[in-house]
Amino acid sequence: MRISDTSDSLRNHACQLLSSALAAGAEEAEVYGIASLSFDIDLRRDQVELASRSLHRGLGLRAVVSGAVGFSSTSDMSLLSSVAKSAVQSALARGPDPAWRGLPRPERVTHPENTFDPRLAEMGPEECLDLAEGLVAGCSQVAGAEPVSGGLACASGTSFILNSQGLELEERGTIMQASLEAIARGADVATGSDFYISRGLASSLEEVGRSAAEMARSSLGGQKAESGTFDVLLRPQAAAELLEYTLIPALLADRVQKGRSVLAGRIGESIASERLVIADDGLVSGGIDSSAFDGEGVPSQRTVLIEDGTLKAYLYDSYTAGKEGIRSTGNAVRSGYTALPRVGARNFILSSRQSQNLLEETRGFMVSGLIGAHTANAISGDFSVEARNAFAISPGEVARPIRSLMLAGNIFQLLREIEVGRDVRSVGSIVTPTVKLRMKVVGS
């Protein structure tokens, strides 16, 4: 079955579900649908452990009664009537919500470039297996290293939104993700990993496997680190992990409105280095979370959050924007058809008016990844994390692997002196280069 045929059938069911919800008593209703085809390959050591082909399709319904939102979802199209009734009953049970301002109305949208690759959409299992074998082959090129685990996922599909305000939007997309973890053995043992993520097809994944193996090998022979306050380079993956659990939550309007952000009420204030620029852009070409519209049908846009160190804006969906009588920034995101939309970042992009070659100028530590970033305090911005693949660095000297390193600090204090590198990389929907932060370091 072609994915286009599945999508057409699903849209017909979506129209039925929308009508059923209104007939069941909803004053407003919205149906969000997904139809996608994916090939997934799991690697264990140098062998394919599992290869699977999956067709995902389903509908999620929001039914609104007196401002209260009820939700239900299904992948079984024979249950549309009961899904509609369930969502309406859920809304009735919640009681009126005077803050509700209505579902989005139709508006003109702009489709971003490079979010659909027909080559990826037409791939079969044989091509996916060849690419997965490239991960292993790349790792095998590095003496003393071998693969531990990894995988590859290639997906194409269609998402759409219909609502009772007359909004009808649909969009196709593709995505490819791959990762590999490698191990190296010498006097001791060390691991390393790398990944690939793109909206388009990669010609080869050997470099991902090779990079993971080289990281593992270069981490052998780790030494004890000195404790104190040092300049620390967080490479893109580490920087993204820290931003996801500290800064990004503080910029979401629902947290600001609930008083769960230290940035509440600080629009127009200087909160970071005057060189720092942070924007959220749902329209960036090839962005991992780029699309013409957000998770409830609001047109995507670029929103500048921090410019020259000054806080300029927060991120809104329709509900949080309605509370303040302003326009949504197009930041309703969904994890799938089984979930309600929520406020979230799209393509969160960190940059600087003056980027630098940080590795050549820094004496301190370089960290490739973090363990425990999810334990950061999203309200205060405090964090204490373990560094993964850490190295002691000095200008003109070879980096020395560190056995164990803990990092601690407060993101909002660190942002005031942040320095930004040039090696920009997409880590999921966060786009960042290496950054330099001065923080507390504990070696062991």
Largest CA distance in the chain: 72
C-alpha span between 213 and 116 (Å, rounded): 31
The SS3 assignment for 86 reads: helix
For residues 8 and 98, membership in a common domain is answered with yes
For residues 211 and 233, membership in a common domain is answered with no
For residues 233 and 208, membership in a common domain is answered with no
Q: What is the mean pLDDT of residues 65-81?
A: 96
What is the model's pLDDT at position 8? 84
- Report the CATH number that the domain containing residue 87 is assigned in CATH: 3.30.2290.10
Q: Is the dihedral of CA 364, 370, 372, 375 positive or negative?
A: positive
For residues 311 and 420, membership in a common domain is answered with yes
Q: Amino acid letter at 252?
A: L
Q: Which residues are CB-neighbours of 338 under 8 A, at least 6 positions away?
A: 58, 60, 73
| Domain of 87, in residue numbers | 3-218
Strand partners, 307: 277, 310
CA trace torsion 417, 423, 427, 430 (10° rounding): 50
For residues 234 and 205, membership in a common domain is answered with no
C-alpha span between 240 and 281 (Å, rounded): 16
Establish if 350 belongs to a structural domain.
yes
**Of the residues 164, 198, 218, the one at which a domain ends:** 218
Check: CB of residue 65 under 8 Å from CB of residue 92. Answer: yes
Check: CB of residue 92 under 8 Å from CB of residue 26. Answer: no
Establish if 19 belongs to a structural domain.
yes
158 pLDDT band, cuts 50/70/90, is very high
Would you say residue 205 has pLDDT above 60? yes
What is the model's pLDDT at position 83? 97
**Of the residues 162, 195, 218, the one at which a domain ends:** 218
Strand partners, 187: none
For residues 204 and 233, membership in a common domain is answered with no
Establish if 377 belongs to a structural domain.
yes
Radius of gyration of the chain (CA): 24
Angle between helices 80-94 and 3-23 (to 10 degrees): 50
Check: CB of residue 391 under 8 Å from CB of residue 427. Answer: no
pLDDT > 90: percent of the chain: 92
Q: How high is the mean pLDDT of the chain?
A: 94
What is the model's pLDDT at position 389? 96
Establish if 223 belongs to a structural domain.
no
Report pLDDT digits (tens) over 290-343: 999 999 999 999 999 999 999 999 999 999 999 999 999 999 999 999 999 999
Angle 286-208-406 from CA coordinates, rounded to 5°: 95
Nearest to 39 by CA among 103, 132, 105: 132
The strand order across the sheet containing 189-198 reads 68-74, 47-65, 28-44, 145-163, 168-185, 189-198
What is the model's pLDDT at position 5? 56
Check: CB of residue 400 under 8 Å from CB of residue 434. Answer: no
What is the model's pLDDT at position 49? 92
Establish if 305 belongs to a structural domain.
yes
Number of domains observed in the structure of the chain: 2
For residues 50 and 128, membership in a common domain is answered with yes
For residues 186 and 269, membership in a common domain is answered with no
For residues 401 and 263, membership in a common domain is answered with yes
**Of the residues 218, 247, 268, the one at which a domain ends:** 218
C-alpha span between 188 and 186 (Å, rounded): 5
396 pLDDT band, cuts 50/70/90, is confident
Report pLDDT digits (tens) over 229-278: 999 999 999 999 999 999 999 999 999 999 999 999 999 999 999 999 99
Strand partners, 124: none
Would you say residue 359 has pLDDT above 90? no
DSSP 8-state assignment for residue 71:
E
For residues 110 and 210, membership in a common domain is answered with yes
For residues 184 and 249, membership in a common domain is answered with no
The CB-based long-range contact list for 70-73 (8 Å cut-off, 24+ gap) reads 70/94, 71/340, 73/337, 73/338
CA 403 to chain centre: 29
For residues 366 and 262, membership in a common domain is answered with yes
Establish if 329 belongs to a structural domain.
yes
